[in-house]
Amino acid sequence: MNLSGDGSVEVEVVVDSRDQVGEGPVWIGPERRLVWVDITRRLVHGLDPATSHTETVDVGQCVGAVATRSSGGLVAAVETGFGVIDVATRSLEMVAEVEADNPNNRMNDGKCDSSGRFWAGTMAFDETPGAGALYRLDADHTVTKVLDDVTISNGLAWSLDDRNMYFIDTPTNGVDIFDYDFETGAVRNRRRLIEIPPELGAPDGMTVDTEGYLWVALWGGRAVHRYAPDGTLHTVVSLPASQITSCAFGGEDLTELYITSATQGLSERELHQQPHAGALFRCRPGANGIPAYSFRD
Ligand code: ZN
């Protein structure tokens, strides 16, 4: 099905998964497969776009994000910390606890850096301001708290030269940039790069393209925005659903942008008006992504 938004980029519905909180799309290049999560329904979805075959694993805990693991399977940020998922046996094994003594919090968005470390943050189920943090899981399974006082940890990305890390704490209405040391994983000198007017939606997940531009999903904003590395808005991809959560490039040539969405936060009336809320969307916005990094433990 093809749906045209009001922009010039044509968007199609790939899977009408009706996700509660669809999130974290990752293209697995060698398998030519996309995986993404439905955080609150505790699901990891997999799609083979060539056959349209989808598979779903119930993780048994809220799952905020996954990434591929170089030794096979997936690394995951779940309710109680970091785990690994054996896709064949559909089992989750915890490798490091994070805030496990705090039942009010769960892990949220996450991503691997070029050195193979897995980063993911936490948030309170009730979005208590400042109750979350950002963590880094290193190869030896040690967990380092990188940032405190986070409300909804989202949107990790790195600049192509690995000198900067980008981060989104959704209620702050913008994208922050850090100086980043790729050898140690240390970040410092946080400052605001992109300010997003609240009426355009709240920034959620993001990805970077081969030109170093950022693609930012807008919760409540019916759109994905592309920003230049200097923070100026470059392109708007309009979507037929309001709760847009994240995006990642996929397809053999990494020219297809896969976009996740949510039904959470919509009234009965809005759900009726948005029959594709919670779907996985795809478009060809005229840019290329970079391959997703794997967790190397
Ligand atoms: Zn998110």
Q: Does 203 reside within a domain?
A: yes
Low-confidence ranges of the chain (pLDDT < 50): 1-6
**Distance (Å) from CA 21 to ligand 1 centroid:** 8
Choose, from 204, 230, 253, 297, the residue flagged as catalytic. Answer: 204
pLDDT at 7: 54
d(CA 152, CA 25): 18
Q: Does 127 reside within a domain?
A: yes
**Distance (Å) from CA 14 to ligand 1 centroid:** 20
Q: Does 291 reside within a domain?
A: no
Q: Does 290 reside within a domain?
A: no
Q: Which residues pair with 219 in a beta bridge?
A: 202, 243
d(CA 89, CA 100): 24
Vertex 45 angle, CA 41 and 49, to 5°: 150
d(CA 288, CA 125): 35
Q: Using one digit for the tens of pLDDT, what is the confidence trace for 81-118?
A: 999 999 888 899 999 999 988 999 999 999 999 999 99
Instruction: Respond yes or no: is residue 138 known to be catalytic.
Output: no
pLDDT at 1: 37
**Distance (Å) from CA 210 to ligand 1 centroid:** 22
Q: Please give the DSSP secondary-structure letter assigned to residue 94.
A: E
Q: Does 108 reside within a domain?
A: yes
d(CA 35, CA 68): 9
pLDDT at 87: 84
**Distance (Å) from CA 109 to ligand 1 centroid:** 5
Q: Does 57 reside within a domain?
A: yes
Question: Is residue 276 within 8 Å of 238, Cβ to Cβ?
Answer: no
Q: Does 174 reside within a domain?
A: yes
Q: Which residues pair with 47 in a beta bridge?
A: 34, 54
Domain span including residue 112 = 2-283
Number of domains in the chain: 1
The CATH code of the domain that includes 14 is 2.120.10.30
Q: Alpha carbon of 25 to those of 7, 68, 130, 197, 206: distances in Å?
A: 23, 11, 26, 25, 10
DSSP track, 3-67: EE-SSSSEEEEEE----SBEEEEEEEGGGTEEEEEETTTTEEEEEETTTTEEEEEE-SS-EEEEE
Q: Does 54 reside within a domain?
A: yes
**Distance (Å) from CA 218 to ligand 1 centroid:** 10
